[in-house]
Every structure is written in C-alpha cells, then in structure tokens.
Amino acid sequence: MQDLTLEVSLKPFCNLDDAATLATCAEALRQWDHLARHASRVSLLLWASDGSEILDYTGDLDTEMEWARYVGNSNSHLDIPSDPEKKSLHSRSYLYRPDARPITYRRLAAIVRAWREAASAAPATQGKPFRVGLAFDPGGEFAPSDFKYKRHREICLSDTMGKASFVCCYGILNADTRRYAAYPDGIPQDTGIGTFLGRQFRHLATDTGLDYLWLSNGFGFGMETWLTIGPLFDGTIFTAAVDPQKARDTRDRILRFWHDLRAELPPSIGIETRGTNLGTATDLASDATPLRELYEGGFDFAPPPNSPWAAINGDFGIELAGYMSRLAELPPNRTGFPFRYYLHDPWWLNSPWLDRYEGQPHDIYLPLATARIASDGRIQTADTLNLLSIDDSHGHMPETVPNQSTPHLLRAWAERPDSPGPLVWLYPFDEIHDAMFGESPAPERLFHTDWFIREAINDGFPINTVISTRAFDALATAQHAQHSLAGRILVSPAPLDTASEQRLLNWIDHGGDLIVYGPLDTAPVLRTRLGLAAAAPLSGNMIVDTSPPPPP
C-alpha cells in the first residue's frame, strides 16, 4: 500500500485544549494502526469547511473562520415539496452541538501540528512520510459561504443542488476590494477561479502547514459533475452533435483552469481529486471533460478514485464502470490508482458502514477486484486507500467501525487481482476523445459506451478488468496480446472508425473471443461477418419479442 489516507472533519476537536487535541489524534491513529502498518506513507485529509476557508483567508491567523460544524445543508437552494416547514436536513442545517463556535486559522494550524506530532509517535506511522491535506468543495453543503453565494455567485455556474449552487472550475471572478492573503488590494476583474484558488491555497498551506489540496465532488472536471446532463447535453439533445466547436471551447476552458491552478502551486504541493460520479465517455458527451489531456498535461495530480455514491443510490454499475473507464489510462509515472471507501458521513447524519451497508463489505470487495492491463501486459491495481471518514456527524469515532471493516479491507487488499478476469473491457480511451473533439462528434455513441456497461454490471455481468485500446495496440505490436489475454473474452463497444474495426477483426482472426455492443454502422466488415444488415434506428417505447421462431 503506497498510501493510507484518513479523512476527518474538525468535529472531534471542538473546544479541546492542546493536550486533548493530541490525544484525539493519537486515538484515531491507534484505531487504524492495523491498516497504517501496511502503508508506506500515511496521509490525513481535513474536511475543515467547504473550501471557503481557503477563498476567504486574509493572511491573519487570528481571523475567525467558518467550519463544518453543522449537520445538513448549510446553503439550501431548493424548496423540498414534502418539507414546507423546512425542517429536514436537505432544507437547512443544524449545529452538531450547541457550543460549536467559529474557530481561528491559528486553531486550524494547531490541529495540523497535533496530527503530525501524533503520527511521529504512533508505532504504525512513526518514521513514515506523513502528509496533511485540505479539501475544496464546489458546493454549499458543509458550511455557510458568503464568498460563493453572496459576494461571488458569478462563479456558481452549476445547478447541481438548485440554481447556481456549485462553483464551476472555469468560473471567472468579478472584482472586489476585500483583503485576501494573495490579493491584499482585492480581486482584479476577470480573475479565473483556478488562479485565485491556487494562489490562496499556497498562502494558507505555508501558514498552516498543509501539503496538498483535494478537489472534491468533481471540481476540475466540468460543470455538472454529479449528473448525466451538462453544458453539452440537456437530457434530450447533445449540443456537440450540431455545434462541434462548443465541445472544443468547453474543453479548453477546463484545461485553462488546470493550467492556472498548477501555475500557482509549486510541485511540492500535491493535488488529489475525487472526480465525477460518471464515466470518461459520459463526461465527454455531457461536459467535454478531456481526461486524456488532463492526465497528459503535466498537472501532476492523482487520478480520481471510485465514486462513493454507490452507498447512496445502490448503483454499483456506474461506480465500477466509471472507475474502470478512468483507469483505462493513467497519468504518467503512475502505476496504480486510488480506492476510496465510505465509512462515515460527517455532514449528513449517516454512517454507511453501520446503516447503508449494514456492515456488509460488498463495496470493498467489488472495487478492489478491479484491475487494468498496462501496455507491457502487467496487471495494475489500487495502490492507495482513502477512508471517508473516520468520524461521524457527531464528531464521534466509534471503534466498532475500524474493528469490523479493517479485516475486510486487509483481505480485499491482499486478494487484489494478479491476472485479467475472464471478461476484459477494451476501452477506446483515445478514440472517444478524438471523436468528441473532431469535426463530427458522436456524443450519443460515447454516452452509450459507458452506460451500456453500467447497466450490464447492474444486471450481473462479471467484468472487472479494463485495457485501453492504446495498451492493447502496444501488446499487439509486440505480439503479446494473444499471450497476455489468452482465454479471455474482449468486451468492446462497436468500432468508431475503420482502424478500430480492423483491431477487432485481427483479434478474431487470431482466435480471440469477442463481445461487441452498440451500433455497427461504421463497421461494415464486422457487420457482414455477423450476418447483420443496417436498418433505421429505433427510438421510444417498444415491445421486443425474444421468442425463437417456430420450427420449420
């Protein structure tokens, strides 16, 4: 295990003196020491607020900061029809304890120091690298935010939880005259959020001892990172199909954010990401999210882990399909990828291990059975483990959770795949990017690429291994494909072009087994071999008769 990241809010530290703060950190590390002893490095991700503590920082450590001292929605933007009195957690927030008051940035720095001191003394972590990160969330769930919703609503381009409720990574700030650590004279007009966030975080990291920035809830990967809709898809019409330039323009705005952010953060400050709820091709179709260019752009960030939403909506298909689609390729010099597990929710009054999962470990074993095949044929699996979070909505750290979940985490980690599964998803990572940003995008085909596999997994399709077409071609060139994938069945979306069709034909002609899904309008040879004829597409509700024809 290259890294174990413990995610935690500030709730366990409310109104504690320095000695009690240190003791709380030590107790948390003791609870998870059976995992920590297997990690080469241990990290601590602080969910201090909603990211507004970064945006608002003036450079004065004695200034008060708002923090995530609530349960429920701290910035509600939707009326809940079933809650006219606005008492539910989705309509409002409640203090998690009546004496929870704002803290200062100096107190935040003291908590960071306490974690470092505890890690240097704990048997499972002493002598190991230890990092502390801070999360930036684009939404308003976790703490009230004047910056996002009063002073600079112009950067809230996303309607994820109501109108203008999420900050978009390519938002542009209007000028203001308030003092900020990085802008003592105020924000200049038309400052990109990437520049502002990066420069502010650099100052805060220096002053409080932080090592890395976590971009939460899809921030950095488009506009609508929870939903299947976006600036290029309204649920009915794919805009890029009629206006290809809009896809390229949207892509460039996302890339501009990353250039701006990384320009402000030195290489010593890491960037880690949560990513979207969806898959690579789906995000391309709806948001023009250029994951290939982000991976290869020199931005030096960790690839996104699996989405935690399966615990909420039970959609393990989209969790696993999205996960595999993102790890079909990896950023340079990465040989593994993160796995993230949802133990507690420090904001929404639930603890998935205890309630949503009911103590059942399926969402540990399923994602940790996922693997990718590299261009040299090696199997690569998860190499970092994130635990969200080790405290609950009350700031408690019930010992039953590490006691019950740790054996499953250790077993699933030890039993990660060492060879491809029987079914291998041949994922067209390059082709979907080329198609989306070319002259004739086919966003509906891209959407189907992910969504069909998502549905198949939910219906029991046992697929756990992915290989990109780029890696597959490298194996084929080295004449290793048949050996590395011997006895495996390739599962491929229908070819997008002639070269993609020829790749599949070569595999078949050398004795390989293949499952193809999707329309074969661009694969005439494959269509002929299958004995199929092109026909007008069907749309809408219909009855499909699968009964066999009567005998002659």
pLDDT at 173: 99
pLDDT at 518: 95
pLDDT at position 548 over 90:
no
Q: Tokens for 329? A: 């390729």
pLDDT at position 276 over 90:
yes
Q: What's the whole-number mean pLDDT along residues 12-25? A: 97
- Chain centroid, CA 299 distance in Å: 16
Within a 10 A sphere around the Cβ of 196, how many other Cβ atoms?
25
In this prediction, what percent of the chain has a pLDDT beyond 90? 95
State the pTM of this model: 0.96
pLDDT at position 481 over 90:
no
Q: What's the whole-number mean pLDDT along residues 414-437? A: 98
Distance between CA 181 and CA 190 in Å, rounded? Answer: 18
Residue range 298-310, pLDDT digits in tens: 999 989 999 999 9
Query: Contacts by 144-147 with C-beta closer than 8 Å and gap 24+?
Result: 144/66, 144/74, 144/75, 145/50, 145/52, 145/66, 145/74, 145/75, 146/52, 146/56, 147/52, 147/55, 147/56
Q: What's the whole-number mean pLDDT along residues 32-41? A: 98
pLDDT at 480: 85
Radius of gyration for the alpha carbons in the chain, expressed in angstroms and rounded:
24
Strand ranges for 36-178 from DSSP E: 42-47, 64-65, 70-72, 93-95, 103-104, 130-136, 172-173
Q: What's the whole-number mean pLDDT along residues 288-293? A: 99
Q: Where are the alpha helices (DSSP H) in 61-192?
A: 105-121, 146
Residue range 128-164, pLDDT digits in tens: 999 999 999 999 999 999 999 999 999 999 999 999 9
Number of H helices, E strands in the chain: 19, 19
Q: Residue 538 — very low, low, confident or very high, per pLDDT cuts 50/70/90?
A: confident
**Could you please report the per-residue DSSP string of 426-463?**
EE-HHHHHHHHTSSS--HHHHHHHHHHHHHHHHTT---
pLDDT at position 551 over 90:
no
Q: What's the whole-number mean pLDDT along residues 101-108? A: 97
Helix/strand/coil for 98? coil
Q: Where are the alpha helices (DSSP H) in 265-290?
A: 280-287
Q: What is the DSSP letter of 88?
A: S
pLDDT at position 181 over 90:
yes
In this prediction, what percent of the chain has a pLDDT beyond 70? 100
Segment (H or E) for 386: strand 382-388
pLDDT at position 494 over 90:
yes
Residue range 328-362, pLDDT digits in tens: 999 999 999 999 999 999 999 999 999 999 999 99
Nearest to 470 by CA among 281, 264, 292, 349: 292
Nearest to 62 by CA among 10, 112, 110, 104: 104
**Top-level class of domain 3-414:** alpha beta
Nearest to 393 by CA among 339, 355, 338, 341: 355
Q: Residue 368 — very low, low, confident or very high, per pLDDT cuts 50/70/90?
A: very high
pLDDT at 408: 99
pLDDT at position 4 over 90:
yes
Domain ranges, ordered by start, for the chain: 3-414, 423-529
Q: Residue 101 — very low, low, confident or very high, per pLDDT cuts 50/70/90?
A: very high
- Edge-to-edge strand ranges of the sheet holding 513-517: 379-380, 371-373, 465-468, 423-427, 489-493, 513-517
Helix/strand/coil for 48? coil
pLDDT at 537: 86
Distance between CA 502 and CA 506 in Å, rounded? Answer: 6
- Chain centroid, CA 50 distance in Å: 17
Distance between CA 370 and CA 71 in Å, rounded? Answer: 34
Segment (H or E) for 295: helix 291-296
Instruction: Give the chain's mean pLDDT.
Output: 97
pLDDT at 310: 92
pLDDT at 387: 99
CA distances to 280, 333, 381, 481 from 469, rounded to whole Å, are 14, 19, 18, 11
pLDDT at 468: 98
